[in-house]
Amino acid sequence: MELGAFIAENGTSLSREPGQHVFRQGDRNSSLYFLKSGLLKAYYLSADGKEHIKSFILPGNHIGSLMASHAEKSCSFSLVCLRQCNLTMLPFSRLYQAARSDPAISAAVVDLLLSFAMKKEAREYELLCLSAADRYRRLVENTPDLLKLVTQNEIARYLGVTPVGLSRIKKRLAG
């Protein structure tokens, strides 16, 4: 992958222990992160202290705050390690600069944004059209491996229900 090579060459490596943050909601962080190994959790913390999980990031995937990178705003979510993580960090600006002169990089950036947009669109669909029970069923079907990596507690907050709620949903589906 072109982009992977570029990031590997130009980015800086970092590693983090479980529980450590890569960045926090409110930070100014306009970098793109590539996860080499480990497991990340991207989450929102609402005013009343409730956690809502935006996504889990598995090795081989990218993450970064678009808002902070492009809208002169601060990060709208936090990024924390659930496992020991090895990442590569690269400022978005450096990537765009490279894209300007190298068509292959440019195409890779388009691909990256595209796959990102499609993921977000799929999630929008699930949150808008499906019930919590349906979302859980889908998760079990599509990414059963994730269930083994994180607690049910976190699955619940990813699906948009409370842990208690998810427990009941499971019971209903099983019964």
Judged by CB under 7 A, the number of residues near DNA is 19
Least distance CB 49 / DNA (angstroms): 10
| Binding partner selected for residue 166 from a copy of itself, DNA, none, CB under the kind-specific 5 to 8 Å limit | DNA
Least distance CB 50 / a copy of itself (angstroms): 8
Of 52 and 119, nearer to DNA (C-beta) is 52
β-pair type (31-37, 62-63): antiparallel
| Binding partner selected for residue 4 from DNA, a copy of itself, none, CB under the kind-specific 5 to 8 Å limit | none
Crossing angle (nearest 10°) for helices 103-129 and 132-142: 140
Least distance CB 154 / a copy of itself (angstroms): 14
85 backbone φψ class: left, alpha, beta (φ>0; ψ -120 to 50): beta
Of 1 and 114, nearer to a copy of itself (C-beta) is 114
| Binding partner selected for residue 28 from a copy of itself, DNA, none, CB under the kind-specific 5 to 8 Å limit | none
Of 3 and 166, nearer to DNA (C-beta) is 166
Positions 79 through 108 that interact with DNA (CB under 7 A): none
Question: DSSP readout, 37-106?
Answer: ES-EEEEEE-TTS-EEEEEEE-TT-EE--HHHHHSS---SSEEEESS-EEEEEEEHHHHHHHHHH-HHHH
Strand partners, 23: 79
Structure tokens at 124: 């929008």
| Binding partner selected for residue 173 from DNA, a copy of itself, none, CB under the kind-specific 5 to 8 Å limit | none
Cα separation of 120 and 45, whole Å?
Answer: 19
Is residue 133 near DNA by the rule CB under 7 A?
Answer: yes
Where do contacts with DNA occur on this chain (CB under 7 A)?
Answer: 131-133, 151-153, 160-172
